[in-house]
Structure 1
Amino acid sequence: MSDGIHVRGLRLWAHVGVLDFERAEGQWFELDLRLAVDLSVAGRSDALADTLDYSQLITALQRQARSIRCHTLEHYSDSMLDLVEQLYGPVPVWLELRKCQAPVSGFDGVVAVERQRHGPC
């Protein structure tokens, strides 16, 4: 399937990290995700009911970010994949979750995990 819905650059403040202060104070993360879904029906009908409402997903991810407390990007991204599945069922999904400022001395880059579930996107 080549159709998909993309959400790019979603910034989320979450309490995730191995270090105590990361979980206590929180930090910025950035998310890109792709849901593989046939968009042809909605393309013809122009009806929101014929597609996946990405605003529901964005709102749910923002709510999740406010409440999550965990150590690893892997766990946080797994929670995101679970949330997608709760909202839309087992749709193919790909995501990249980036920690915007990893607390590593002398490192000014970005650390990310890439995950997918339910087949290729």
Structure 2
Amino acid sequence: MTPGEGIVVRGLRLWAHVGVLPFEREWGQWFELDLELGVDPAAAGRSDQLADTLDYGALIQALQRQARQIRCHTIERYGQCILELIAERHGPVPVQLELRKCAAPVPGFTGSVAIRRASGSRAARGDGPGPSS
């Protein structure tokens, strides 16, 4: 597999009950998820068979189910739960994610807050260079 190849999911909107403030966990709020999954597209490119790749439709549905059920305080924990779900379903697939809280409850702030995580790669394990700062 060539570096940079894989499946990319951008802008997956998820309603989840995550936040330090009690009303965030009670009422819920929008998050937006971007994923890069390091799967080799060559086999499915040759065979045209879903069995030879990662079924992103099924993964998206699993992430939507998870979002409806999750209750936690931090976006960091939510990101960890997403990585764990992907690992449970697909094994040690290299994953890069960015998870954004679309409307952080900070007075006067209209932007988003995000975390970035990596898993299943040299950078995620800390034994190689990661993304530049």
Q: TM-score by structure 1 length?
A: 0.97
Return the structure number with greater strand share: 1
1:23-34 equivalences in 2 (<5 Å): 23-34=25-36
**Match in the other structure for 1:89:** 91
Q: Does 1:35 align with 2:37?
A: yes
Larger CA deviation: 111-120 vs 7-16: 111-120
Flag the structure with more relative contact order, 1 or 2, with Cα contacts below 8 A and sequence separation at least 6.
1
1:34-113 equivalences in 2 (<5 Å): 34-113=36-115
**Match in the other structure for 1:18:** 20
Consecutive unaligned residues in structure 2, runs of 5 or more = 125-133
Calculate the aligned-residue CA RMSD, in Å: 1.1
Letter in structure 2 aligned against 1:102: A
Paired with 1:3 and 1:38, the residues of 2 have a C-alpha distance of 7
Q: Does 1:116 align with 2:122?
A: no
**1:1-27 deviation line (CA, Å, top 9, x unaligned):** 331101100000000000000000000
**Match in the other structure for 2:127:** none
Letter in structure 2 aligned against 1:65: A
**1:22-48 deviation line (CA, Å, top 9, x unaligned):** 000000000000100111011011011
Q: Secondary structure at the match of 2:36?
A: strand
Percent of pairs with identical residues: 65
Q: Secondary structure at the match of 2:80?
A: helix
